[in-house]
């Protein structure tokens, strides 16, 4: 609740009274933070604090087939105990008005006094100050205007509300004025004080004020012009209605033929008795005046919020995320990217990855280099095992070394087909598949299980042995990322989430190079691959294959963006 | 001035003696040999540039001071240089056309129930401003001449105090519109101790004032500043230790009660990509009227110049009010800068309170306090602004981001080429590294949200720049301007502020640097659009709330008596429906559509009423009046101006409110400036502190024992190419840049040379920044883990950390500071 608007009245019987308060109600959820950092890229688990769960059950009670009855805490915690008469009463403690702004999850409630005691205290203090303490700036203009009106006026009364001025010692404009007042203890208030004509009021004017109350002074000042205009408009409408009523009530008693102003005044004084108990409905002659005010106040509170488009800082989606949005549901399941226990699944994969690295390295360090090199350069890794789930776990584990867009995964196929050669890089299958011998750049591994535990998920590769059946030619120099990955995988310190974040940042780092390469390739099309690669800092010849392969894994959305930027450098603005 | 500059730099100055040359002559256009020599060497070997390569600035010999507020010092120099400089205004900065003069603002101090003003800038005139006639007739020993009081004093008093004085002890701040005089009156009531007539010794002139400042102004030379004691925020960490137990400072009982419902506030980690969002949620909560959100009761004692309390006995107090009168046309400027002006006024109040303890010097001190305040406000108003702060402009959908990106890339490439060399001590890398270490708001902008499998591609999503529309905004209810201001002044995560001042003599170079920094120093962008939805109001219904708990007997029923439905204009029923039906129900599920009410079975009607525009004709939401103050281009709505207003070009003064500004060294007394800077850095009652306190949970600052210093001021000097960080702990020189930044700039230059499109260059920079954040996440994971194995130690060598994180040694500090934004306990891993 940033601000509320209240209509206040200086009641002739009771003094300053809050007559109507329009308050926006919102659900208030604080950001859920956790004590220990969770840098995991997996979606947050259901870590809803207890308090919130309780709230949610409350909320759910309120929901009937989808839409809540109201938002926020709409309990009435303060009851009005002040003496009141008709003139200073609107809804009383009875039913009030509620408008649900569902798209913006806000309920606007107009009641006599605010529901919450803190709000009420502040509104009440603003009411007292606006009606009996504060002095508005004097307005010479209005006095001048009045004088002019008197001199010019020669028309019969009751046509225009303005003409009614002539019979008053005081003008309805007199108390008009807007001001901001307040302090840190009581909040701040944008106040507009005004008078309404009432034939039966003392001095034939009633004093009102419209107050916007907030804790935030800058909110009131930054919307100063808007509030000034909005409250002035509301006031003018009320004054217009009151004048018409006034004119109607007085005209029945006065006939134009009665002559001079003085004569009319005398009659006026004689015939209209003071009635201090007339409420706003009577003064304005509008039975729907509370509804109208409710709408206008709601509009005043709501419009600045809707017209303010706050663009907050949040990083652009990663390539992985964009790619995932482009994947079909089946692939997401296949790649185990969306799982109720995503975090556990990821941790298990990473643990398997470390197992694989350790096992290969213990046998022959070169084999680990080869495996990582094959994976990151998009060359084939074929895993054979009688147990499909072992193949699957192996391949999912090593898939953490690649951006999602580069994953061409076939977790288990009975046969190694022509399709396998072209479509996939990470392939699983039964032992002794018929892999053409002329394919020289493949790494074939075999997982031998010794009585492993079966399960749907969380299959560990701990008890298995990994045997290399066929090695591709070893490069003179491995790409740099191979060394980095190897170090991370063999480091006993780097486990679980440490491994996860370090792998992720390594992937992102090389993905950045791939992006550069893609952009350059598209923009400077005449240059060759080697030439372009040389412009990218920090990469050597042996890294070319990695960068080339990874740029294929960029998301379609990103590629389209890049192409659009190049194709329409002038008209099409991509940054927007 | 010459002597001041000499003593200031006697130890550090180079042989070239540019400063002495510049300072011995009072005229502006003296060349600075250090900057011109380096820049002329640069122009002799131009870099191959493929694009638009009209270099945005050239080594300039003229140092035309910008049209700013006329301080005494500048008045002298601007007259001298006026004839010689006729060059076009710097394209990177805008000049304010209608300047605000101190004389345009009137200051009145009145006492309750008195008709004579205590002080009035129009009638209480210090000797320095006497007219020749007055000098002739007045007693020259008198400090002030009292002219006949103005007739409006009574009225001002009435407005400030009100007809019934408010309860004593409660400050009362007010803003009145004096429509007839076309003026605004900003006033505040406060009480001061009764004045003592006693001390009359002339020595105490201005003493009560300097007394209050002496707590801070002990610093008269810079000797004490060079070495910072204790922990440093720029030095590379020597060792890391694992953070096993985070000690929390639990608030006092009162705090406990406050936090009872919101216990989560005290906890520390919030995912980096949520930083901006969470701050807003917290703000919505903290500023909500219905919450217990009193400003900490100790607030007043936090005030920098708080009153010394011996004479605070109740009946000895006088109730005073000050009033500040300014033109109606300045209201936009004043309102826009409200947080800053409010804090200035609060300082003024403290100074008046202090001045009141000594009668003989009272007027002198009040006059001086006002002079300084009006000068600050004029500076705020008149300073040249960066025409298009890069980050903000890149995010303005309608504007010319393309040219913004291209100008920025040209600038950065040129700066790197010329000033990121061995000769200039890798100045640009160093400056950017330091800015990234302390102005932390960029962290949120490069923090990608986690992978959400259910996320669907948003066609509006900007894939290059880290900004997204906060869809939650209307359902939260917070002050977006204030959120932006906090981000910009460095209050990200923790309560702290960061400002940068680039100083030197070459104003073209200085504005180029400020412009460049406006890319790295970031904040959220606010746009105001007329929203059709404003006119579509949800329809009301009768509602009977329950008294105690939210039980189902809180009944809402469809309205029976409401029959006012405004006739919609221009909007068809279908539009209305589409815009107002919540996402959870589709059009198909709507059984009936009657007029403008949509009935959903037996539900309370989620229907709308179109507001009649005629009814509120004068209230179009988006109106910009031309006369209003606007810091940059006219296309910007003035209310968005506070953020932009804090990016300032070269000025001949230091103003603590600017987030980025440049200081023309040859036009200021650097000793005084340093003193002022140090005061600001030690001050804990700045505008941004106040804003943070008002909008953040108090406990979130005490989240762990080790904290970053409250305030940081980065001082970059283009004369000796140093970058220093001033904090309450002292002044630290940044010895070398972060390798990650060096590499980023090298690669940037390389790409720039081969003609990569500016958009791509910008995305490259974004990726590089994201990379730093990614590494900080790894660091956090490492230090918060238990050591593996039983013999694992808590200690971690920097080499070990570096190798796991995958960064250079020189990056560690930057990475730690980044991590501390979203997980402050990381700091105890290096300070512990």
DSSP letters spanning B407-473: HHHHHHHHHHHHHSSTTTTTHHHHHHHHHHHH-TTHHHHT-PPPP-TT----TT--SSSSEEE-TTH
- Radius of gyration in angstroms for the set of CA atoms belonging to chain A, rounded to a whole number: 38
Q: Is A201 helix (H, G, I), strand (E, B) or coil?
A: coil
Whether residue B184 lies inside any domain: the answer is yes
**Min CA distance, A426 vs chain B (Å)?**
23
Q: Which of B242, B619, B687, B695 to mutate to test the interface with A (most CBs of A within 10 A)?
A: B619
pLDDT, position B708: 59
Whether A164 shows a pLDDT value over 50: the answer reads: no
Which chain B residue shows the shortest CA-CA distance from A321? B451
pLDDT for B778: 93
In degrees and rounded to multiples of 5, residue A419 shows phi and psi of -60, -40
Contact B751 A185 (CB under 8 A): no
Judged by CB atoms closer than 8 Å, whether chains meet at B531 and A70 is answered as: no
DSSP letter for A130, please: I
Please give the pLDDT value at position A574: 38
Tokens of B396: 């303005």
> Chain A contacts of B528, Cβ < 8 Å?
307-309
Q: Is B271 helix (H, G, I), strand (E, B) or coil?
A: coil
pLDDT at site A564: 87
Q: Residue B340 domain-assigned?
A: yes
Q: Note which residues in 625-684 of chain B have CB less than 8 A from chain A.
A: 625, 639
Rounded to an integer, the average pLDDT of A390-407 is 94
Give per-residue burial for B262-274: e unless 16+ CB within 10 Å, then b. Answer: bebbbbbbbbbbb
Closest alpha carbon within chain B to A64? B603
What is the DSSP-derived secondary structure letter of residue A131? I
Stretch A113-119: mean pLDDT? 91
pLDDT at A455 over 80: no
Neighbouring C-beta atoms of residue A420, cutoff 10 Å? 18
Mutant choice from A1, A16, A23, A39 vs B, greatest count of B C-beta within 10 A: A39
Phi/psi at B201 (nearest 5 deg)? Answer: -65, 135
- Output the domain CATH number for residue B352: 3.30.450
Distance CA B218, CA B227 (A): 16
Give me the DSSP letters along A375-414. HHHT-EEEEE-S-HHHHHHHHHHHGGGS-GGG--EE---S
B197 to chain A, closest Cα gap in Å: 32
Q: Where are the alpha helices (DSSP H) in B215-358?
A: 223-226, 253-259, 275-286, 299-302, 331-336, 338-355
Confidence at residue A496, expressed as pLDDT on a 0 to 100 scale: 85
Residues in B closer than 8 angstroms to A176, CB to CB, are none
Size of interface A-B (CB pairs under 8 A): 561
Query: Which residues in chain A have Cβ-Cβ distances shorter than 8 Å to B248?
Result: none
For residue B464, the model assigns a pLDDT of: 77
Inter-chain CB proximity B603 and A64 less than 8 Å: yes
Rounded CA separation A296/A286 (Å): 15
Distance from CA of B153 to the nearest CA of A (A): 13
Mean predicted confidence (pLDDT) in A139-157: 41
Three-state secondary-structure class, residue A310: strand
CB count in 10 Å sphere of residue B177: 21
Task: Tell me how far CA of residue B830 lies from CA of B493, B739, B802, in angstroms.
Answer: 19, 20, 14
pLDDT of residue A328: 85
Q: Are B603 and A516 within 8 A, CB to CB?
A: no
- Chain B residues lying within 8 Å of A570, measured CB to CB: 402
- Taking the C-alpha atoms of residue A507 and residue A554, their distance in angstroms, rounded to an integer, is 12
Is domain A316-576 given the CATH code 3.40.190.10 in the classification?
no
Q: Which residue of B has its CA nearest to A55?
A: B550
Range with the lowest mean pLDDT among A300-304, A324-328, B787-791?
B787-791
Range of the domain at B335: 102-215+316-382
Q: Give the side-chain half-sphere CA count within 13 A for B74.
A: 18
Closest CA to B396 of B636, B158, B587, B611: B636
Q: Considering the domain boundaries, does residue B182 fall inside one? A: yes
Maximum separation of any 2 CA atoms in chain B, in Å: 91
Per-residue pLDDT at B231: 56
Q: Which of A7, A207, A189, A195 is nearest to A90 (CA)?
A: A7
- B820 touching A, CB under 8 A? no
Whether A346 and A499 have beta carbons less than 8 Å apart is answered as: no
For residue B80, the model assigns a pLDDT of 37
How far apart are the C-alpha atoms of B505 and B62, rounded to whole Å?
Answer: 9
Task: Decide if B582 is inside a domain.
Answer: yes
Give B 552-571 residues with CB within 8 A of chain A: 552, 554, 556, 561-564
Kind of pairing between the strands at B660-664 and B647-651: parallel
Count CA atoms within 13 Å of residue B66 on its CB side. Answer: 33
- Strand B711-717 to B722-727 pairing: antiparallel
Cβ–Cβ under 8 Å, residues A71 and A24: no
Best mutation target, B395, B540, B557, to test chain A (most A CBs within 10 A): B540
Question: Can you read off the two tokens belonging to residue A387?
Answer: 């147990």
Interface test with B, best of A134, A144, A308, A565 (most B CBs within 10 A): A308
Instruction: Return the domain boundaries, chain A.
Output: 3-28+53-138+172-304, 316-576
Distance from CA of A460 to the nearest CA of B (A): 20
Helix (H, G, I), strand (E, B) or coil at B89: coil
pLDDT of B457 reads 62
Q: How large is the average pLDDT for residues A83-108?
A: 89
Question: Of A400, A421, A436, A402, which is closest to residue A410 (Cα–Cα)?
Answer: A421
Q: Cα distance from B257 to chain A (closest Cα, Å)?
A: 15
User: Cβ–Cβ of B546/A41 closer than 8 Å?
Assistant: no
Instruction: Kindly list the averaged pLDDT for each block of 10 residues, start to end, along chain B of length 832.
Output: 37 38 38 38 38 39 40 37 38 83 93 88 85 77 84 90 65 87 91 65 42 39 44 76 56 32 44 86 84 48 34 64 92 90 92 89 93 94 91 76 89 96 95 96 91 64 77 83 89 82 95 96 85 82 69 42 32 34 28 32 52 56 45 47 90 95 93 91 80 62 52 95 91 92 96 92 95 94 76 79 93 93 85 58
Are B282 and A31 in contact (CB < 8 Å)?
yes
Say whether A312 and B470 touch across the interface (CB within 8 A). Answer: yes
Q: What is the number of structural domains in chain B?
A: 2
Comparing B260 with A460, the larger pLDDT belongs to A460
Residue numbers in A near B616 (CB within 8 A): 230, 233, 296, 299
Residues of chain B in contact with residue A314, where contact means CB-CB under 8 angstroms, are 273-274, 276-277, 444-445, 447-449, 466-468
The last residue of one of the domains, among B619, B635, B666, is B619
Residue of B290, B453, B481 with shortest CB distance to A1: B290
| E strand spans, B545-681 | 555-557, 592-594, 597-599, 608-610, 647-651, 660-664
- Would the pLDDT of A426 be above 50? yes
Give the Cα separation of B251 and B273 in Å (integer): 28
Orientation of helix B507-520 relative to helix B401-419, angle to 10°: 120
Question: ipTM of the assembly?
Answer: 0.86
Select from B268, B828, B437, B391 the least CA-distant residue to B646.
Answer: B391
- Shortest distance between the Cα of B98 and any Cα of chain A, in A, equals 21
Q: Which of B601, B757, B770 sits opposite A565 (nearest CB)?
A: B757
Distance CA A362, CA A357 (A): 8
DSSP at A138: P
Residues of chain A with C-beta less than 8 angstroms from the C-beta of B273: 314-315
% of chain A with per-residue pLDDT over 90: 44
Helix/strand/coil percent split, chain A, to 5: 45, 15, 35
Using alpha carbons, select from B511, B793, B506, B518 the residue that is nearest to residue B649. B511
Q: How far is CA A573 from CA A317, A563, B396, B408, in A?
A: 19, 12, 11, 16
CA distances from A144 to A148, A159, B159 (A): 6, 22, 22
Spatial distance between the Cα atoms of B215 and B354, rounded to a whole number of angstroms: 14
Say if the Cβ atoms of B771 and A519 lie within 8 Å. Answer: no
CB within 8 Å: B395 and A311: yes
**Of B294, B481, B806, which is closest to A502 when you measure between CB atoms?**
B806
Angle subtended at Cα B504 by Cα B502 and Cα B510, rounded to the nearest 5 degrees: 55
Greater pLDDT, B650 or A527: B650
């Amino acid at each position: 609740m940033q601000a509320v608007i209240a209509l206040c009245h200086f009641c002739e019987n009771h003094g300053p009274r809050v007559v109507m308060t329009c308050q926006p109600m919102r659900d208030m959820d604080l950001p859920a933070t956790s004590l220990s950092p969770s840098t995991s890229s997996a979606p947050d688990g259901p870590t809803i604090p207890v308090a919130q769960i309780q709230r949610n059950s409350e909320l759910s009670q309120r929901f009937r087939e989808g839409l809540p009855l109201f938002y926020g805490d709409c309990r009435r915690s303060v009851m009005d105990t002040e003496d009141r008469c008709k003139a200073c009463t609107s809804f009383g403690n009875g039913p009030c008005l509620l408008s649900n702004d569902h798209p913006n999850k806000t309920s606007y409630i107009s009641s006599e006094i605010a529901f919450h005691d803190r709000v009420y205290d502040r509104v009440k203090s603003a009411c007292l100050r606006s009606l009996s303490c504060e002095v508005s700036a004097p307005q010479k203009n209005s006095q001048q205007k009045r004088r002019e009106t008197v001199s010019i006026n020669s028309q019969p009364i009751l046509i225009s509300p303005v003409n009614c001025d002539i019979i008053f010692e005081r003008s309805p404009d007199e108390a008009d004025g807007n001001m901001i007042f307040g302090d840190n203890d009581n909040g701040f208030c944008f106040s507009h004080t005004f008078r309404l004509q009432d034939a039966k009021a003392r001095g034939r004017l009633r004093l009102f004020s419209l107050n916007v109350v907030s804790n935030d002074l800058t909110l009131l000042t930054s919307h100063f012009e808007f509030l000034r205009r909005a409250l002035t408009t509301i006031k003018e409408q009320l004054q217009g209605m009151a004048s018409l009523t006034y004119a109607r009530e007085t005209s029945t008693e006065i006939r134009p033929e009665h002559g001079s102003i003085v004569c009319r005044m005398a009659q006026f004084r004689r015939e209209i008795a003071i009635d201090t108990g007339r409420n706003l409905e009577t003064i304005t002659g509008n039975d729907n005046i509370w509804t109208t005010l409710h709408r206008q106040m709601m509009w005043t509170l709501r419009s600045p919020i809707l017209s303010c488009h706050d663009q907050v800082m949040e990083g652009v989606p990663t390539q992985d995320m964009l790619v995932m949005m482009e994947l079909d549901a089946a692939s997401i399941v296949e790649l185990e990217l969306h799982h109720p226990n995503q975090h556990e699944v990821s941790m298990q994969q990473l643990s398997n990855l470390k197992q694989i690295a350790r096992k290969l390295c213990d046998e022959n360090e070169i084999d680990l280099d080869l495996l990582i090199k094959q994976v990151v350069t998009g060359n084939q890794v074929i895993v054979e095992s009688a147990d499909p789930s072992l193949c699957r776990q192996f391949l999912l584990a090593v898939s953490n070394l690649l951006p999602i867009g580069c994953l061409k995964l076939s977790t288990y196929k009975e046969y190694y087909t022509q399709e396998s050669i072209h479509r996939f890089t990470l392939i699983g299958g039964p032992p002794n598949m018929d892999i053409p011998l002329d394919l020289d750049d493949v790494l074939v591994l075999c997982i031998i299980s010794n009585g492993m535990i079966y399960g749907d998920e969380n299959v560990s590769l701990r008890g298995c042995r990994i045997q290399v059946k066929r090695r591709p030619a070893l490069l003179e120099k491995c790409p740099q990322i191979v060394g980095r990955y190897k170090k991370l995988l063999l480091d006993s310190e780097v486990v679980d989430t440490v491994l996860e974040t370090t792998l992720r940042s390594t992937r992102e780092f090389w993905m950045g190079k791939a992006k550069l390469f893609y952009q350059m390739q598209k923009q400077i099309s005449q240059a060759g691959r080697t030439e372009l690669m040389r412009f990218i800092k920090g990469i050597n010849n042996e890294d070319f294959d990695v960068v080339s392969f990874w740029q294929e894994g960029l998301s379609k959305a990103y590629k389209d963006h890049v192409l659009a930027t190049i194709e329409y450098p002038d008209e099409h603005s991509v940054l927007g | 001035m010459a002597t001041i500059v000499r003593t200031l730099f006697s130890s550090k100055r180079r042989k070239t003696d540019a400063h002495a040359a510049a300072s011995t002559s009072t005229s502006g256009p003296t060349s600075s040999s250090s900057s011109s020599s380096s820049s002329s060497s640069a122009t002799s070997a131009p870099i191959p540039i493929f694009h638009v390569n009209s270099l945005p600035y050239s080594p300039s010999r003229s140092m035309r001071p910008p049209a700013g507020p006329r301080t005494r010092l500048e008045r002298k120099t601007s007259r001298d240089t006026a004839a010689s400089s006729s060059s076009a205004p710097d394209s990177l900065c805008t000049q304010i056309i209608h300047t605000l003069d101190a004389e345009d603002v009137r200051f009145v101090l009145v006492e309750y129930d008195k008709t004579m003003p205590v002080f009035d800038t129009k009638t209480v005139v210090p000797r320095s401003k006497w007219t020749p006639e007055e000098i002739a007739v007045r007693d020259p020993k008198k400090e002030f001449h009292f002219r006949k009081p103005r007739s409006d004093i009574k009225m001002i008093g009435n407005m400030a105090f009100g007809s019934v004085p408010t309860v004593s002890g409660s400050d009362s701040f007010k803003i009145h519109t004096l429509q007839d005089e076309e003026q605004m009156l900003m006033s505040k009531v406060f009480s001061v101790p009764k004045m003592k007539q006693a001390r009359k010794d002339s020595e105490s002139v201005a003493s009560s004032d300097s007394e209050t400042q002496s707590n801070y102004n002990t610093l008269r030379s810079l000797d004490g500043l060079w070495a910072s004691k204790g922990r440093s925020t720029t030095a590379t960490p020597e060792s890391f230790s694992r953070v096993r137990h985070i000690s929390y400072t639990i608030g006092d009982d009162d705090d406990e009660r406050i936090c009872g419902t919101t216990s989560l506030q005290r906890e520390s980690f919030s995912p980096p990509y949520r930083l901006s969002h969470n701050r807003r949620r917290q703000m919505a909560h903290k500023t909500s009227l219905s919450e217990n959100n009193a400003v900490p009761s100790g607030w007043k004692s936090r005030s920098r110049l708080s009153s010394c309390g011996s004479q605070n006995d109740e009946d000895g107090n006088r109730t005073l009010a000050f009033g500040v009168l300014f033109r109606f046309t300045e209201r936009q400027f004043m309102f826009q800068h409200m947080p800053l002006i409010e804090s200035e006024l609060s300082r003024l109040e403290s100074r008046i309170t202090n001045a009141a303890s000594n009668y003989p010097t009272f007027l002198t001190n009040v006059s001086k306090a006002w002079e300084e305040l009006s000068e600050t406000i004029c500076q705020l108003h008149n300073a040249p602004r960066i025409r298009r702060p890069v980050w903000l402009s890149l995010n303005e959908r309608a504007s010319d981001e393309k040219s913004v990106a291209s100008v920025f890339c040209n600038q950065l490439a040129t700066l790197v080429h010329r000033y990121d060399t061995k000769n200039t001590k890798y100045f640009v890398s160093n400056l950017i590294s330091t800015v990234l270490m302390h102005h932390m708001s960029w962290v949120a902008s490069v923090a990608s949200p986690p992978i959400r499998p259910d996320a669907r591609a948003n066609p509006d999503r900007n894939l290059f720049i880290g900004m997204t529309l906060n869809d939650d905004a209307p359902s939260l209810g917070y002050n977006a301007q204030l959120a932006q201001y906090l981000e910009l002044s460095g209050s990200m995560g923790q309560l702290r502020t960061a400002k940068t001042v680039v100083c030197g003599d070459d104003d073209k170079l200085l504005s180029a640097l400020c412009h460049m920094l406006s890319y790295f120093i970031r904040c959220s962008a606010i746009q105001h659009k007329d929203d059709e939805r404003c006119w579509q109001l949800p329809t009301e219904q009768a509602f009977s709330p329950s008294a105690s708990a939210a039980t189902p007997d809180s009944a809402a029923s469809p309205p029976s008596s409401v029959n006012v439905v405004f006739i919609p204009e221009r909007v068809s029923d279908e539009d209305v429906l589409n815009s107002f039906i919540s996402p959870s129900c589709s059009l198909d599920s709507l059984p009936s559509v009657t007029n403008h009410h949509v009935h959903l079975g037996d539900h309370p009607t989620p229907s709308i009423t179109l507001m009649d525009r005629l009814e509120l004709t004068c209230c179009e939401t988006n109106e910009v009046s031309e006369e209003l103050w606007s810091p940059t281009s006219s296309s910007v709505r003035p209310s968005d101006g506070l953020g932009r207003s804090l990016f300032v070009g070269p000025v001949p003064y230091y103003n603590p409110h600017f987030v980025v500004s440049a200081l023309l060294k040859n036009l200021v007394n650097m000793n005084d400036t340093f003193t002022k800077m140090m005061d600001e850095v030690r001050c804990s009652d700045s505008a941004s502190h106040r804003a943070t306190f008002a909008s953040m949970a108090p406990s979130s600052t005490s989240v762990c024992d080790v904290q970053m210093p409250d305030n940081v001021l980065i001082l970059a000097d283009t004369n000796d190419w140093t970058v220093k960080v001033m904090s309450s702990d002292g002044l630290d020189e940044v010895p070398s840049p972060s390798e990650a930044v060096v590499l980023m700039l090298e690669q940037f230059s390389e790409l720039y040379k081969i003609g990569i499109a500016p958009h791509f260059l910008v995305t490259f920079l974004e990726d590089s920044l994201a990379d730093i954040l990614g590494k900080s996440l790894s660091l956090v994971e490492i230090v918060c883990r238990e050591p593996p194995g039983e013999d694992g130690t808590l200690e971690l060598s920097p080499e070990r950390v570096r190798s796991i994180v995958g960064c250079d040694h020189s990056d560690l500090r930057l990475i730690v500071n980044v991590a501390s934004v979203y997980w402050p306990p990381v700091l105890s891993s290096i300070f512990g």
